[in-house]
Chain A
Amino acid sequence: MTQVVAVADHAGRQARFSALLSSAFSAAGLSLEFRTHRELAAEVSVEQSFGQPPAVAPDRPLLWLSPDDTAWPPTPDGRFLAAETLAAARSIALLTRSPVLNRPSAVSLCGTLPPGSARAVRGARHLDPEAVRAERFTGAWPPDAAGAGRLEVYDYATNRSSYGPGSSSTGPFRYRAAAGPARLVKVWVVGDRTIATTEVAPATLAASRRIAAWYQLDMATVWWLTGQDDGARTLSRIDCWPWDAGAGAVGEATDDVAAAAAAWMAERLGRPAEVSR
């Protein structure tokens, strides 16, 4: 049986999602093991021979689910080792010839998704021009923002989003015009499948698929604000890492997402997708 490896913080920030993946892969008849970046780098070699493509050994199907193992170490030596580990793991994931879910690229650790949230959303504007808002970044809260209407504000000092700046925060800030009366909708994209826990317009599901495909993401979460009156959609956020908690948390529907990830891999390994939800 082909062994699939999930590169994840499986004992920490992705423990819950990792458990769901285990169940889903087992149900799909696939063998799944977990590795941190460090564990992956310790057991895989990459050889570049003259005039040959690189050889990754062992070359196994991967789920590339995590950007790092732990919080950034406090010491210079620790940071160097973490950087070495990440560089090795990213190279392995990029060069593996077997299927890799969310394979890193030359420009990004995850597909081609830019590292900054605003850049990721703005970079998709040609796909859905009406859905993407202008963004502004400031070091301090600018006086002219008072007349700019209702604003959605991200505060880099607190890592929190709110409507308007926090009363005592010094910033810096990123802000954009708030959408009208709207509800927040999260759409999971896994391959060509979309998963949502609430009713979502087919056009929004299709737009989510286009965005994931544009950034070469096999698994992504696309967040929208959909108008309560007119159904108009506004793109809010694009994520590629499945965290258990925090702003990009996997939330509900994770059984289905894990099953879809197993099906995605089964299809690429030439096995019938045994799970269909």
Chain B
Amino acid sequence: MIGIAGTKADPVMVHFAAHCVAGDVPFAVLDLMETCTAGDWRLSAPPDSADFVSGAERVRLADLTGLYIRPIYLGRTPQHAARWHGLMEGLGAWMDEAGLTVVNRLGSHQLNGYKPAHYAWLSAHGLLVPPSLLSADPQRVREFIGGGCAVVKPVCGTRATTREIRPGDLDRLASSEGPVLVQRMIEGDDVRAHVVGDAVIACRFSSTTIDYRSDRAATKEVLDIPADLASLLVTRTAEQGLVFAGWDFKLDQDGTYWCLECNPMPGYSFYDRVCAGAISDALIKLLSG
């Protein structure tokens, strides 16, 4: 039985659970927010056969073949925060020592939330990464922008619509409260490749906007990426301690794949619809033991 740990307010969790229902795959829901607010748990390190999480339903963890967890905190009170903290510490300690497959363990790479370090790691590990600059110095940013079109992104990995930065935006930078991260803009189609264990499932998007995710008219198709790139992604995903990751690329006119990021908790439901459920199928296979 697969464990699905998250919140029913998360469309990705709902999508995966619906796919399990459609495929008649046994699963149990560990509703972490419900557990946090009104439930109970017993978690041991090392794991114990009596360990459980009780929220919408009581789940005995020893019955799970694999666990898919998306810990998204939605609490509002100090009491919620304290209970969430206790629950996450317990789950983290339990997952560290549990033998089952976990998508993904809390101890895996965190660099996606620290973009300059993330880019450096990707670049040092065989991926082509567009040049970037983190700076609070308007002159340095001006020089970077002067070298070609650039986009501005959050440093911390918070989801945001990517947009172009122009010299006129620099007046606001001078009065901003922190550094900005700018990256050379690459023209071309977008590719999202999901790695699930050893499987790679990719799709391609063509759009006239900078961020295809906001373009309803974007064309989309399943794509076979080059075998050497697929192999590299599987290796690099595992090296980050991940078994599931979403890799974002720009595919330029020369056929070069420019890596934008590796997402360790991909919101994959949108892409799964493009791929006719292939990502969910691969996750189910991975988590079924």
| Contact surface of A with B, Cβ cutoff 8 Å | 38, 41-43, 45-51, 53-54, 80-81, 83-88, 90-92, 94-95, 106-108, 114, 116-119, 122-123, 134-140, 142, 156-157, 171-174
Contacts and interface: CB of A to CB of B under 8 A. Distances in A.
B41 A45 contact: no
Interface of B: 35, 39-46, 48, 54, 79, 82-83, 85-90, 92-94, 96-97, 107-111, 113-117, 119-121, 123-124, 128-137, 140, 144, 154-158, 177-179, 240-241
A109 B48 CA distance: 30
A139 B83 contact: yes
Contacts of A116: 88-89, 92-93
A107 B88 CA distance: 16
B146 to A, nearest CB: 14
Q: Which 9 A-B pairs have the closest CB atoms?
A: A137-B90, A172-B86, A45-B135, A87-B156, A91-B116, A156-B86, A139-B40, A83-B156, A87-B155
A45 B124 CA distance: 19
Contacts of B121: 106
Given A53-B124, A90-B114, A106-B109, A122 B83 contact: no
Contact of A47 (B85, B92, B132, B178): B132
B131 A50 contact: yes
A41 B87 contact: no
Given A38-B178, A41-B179, A135-B44, A118 B93 contact: yes
B136 A87 contact: no
Contacts of B157: 87
Contacts of B82: 156-157, 172
Main secondary structure of the interface of A (DSSP, over half): mixed
Contacts of B113: 83, 87
B78 to A, nearest CB: 9
Contacts of B177: 81
B157 to A, nearest CB: 7
Given A119-B96, A135-B45, 16 more contacts: A41-B179, A45-B137, A45-B140, A45-B179, A50-B128, A84-B155, A84-B156, A85-B178, A87-B114, A87-B154, A95-B116, A114-B96, A119-B107, A122-B45, A136-B48, A137-B44
A47 B120 contact: no
B136 A41 contact: yes
Given A48-B131, A119-B89, A156-B85, A139 B35 contact: yes
A107 B108 contact: yes
Contacts of A41: 136, 178-179
Given A54-B120, A106-B117, A106-B240, A42 B89 contact: no
A137 B42 contact: yes
A101 B155 CA distance: 23
Contacts of A48: 116, 119-120, 123, 129, 131-133
A87 B115 CA distance: 7
Contacts of B158: 80, 83
5 contacts: A46-B133, A84-B178, A118-B93, A119-B93, A142-B42
B156 A86 contact: yes
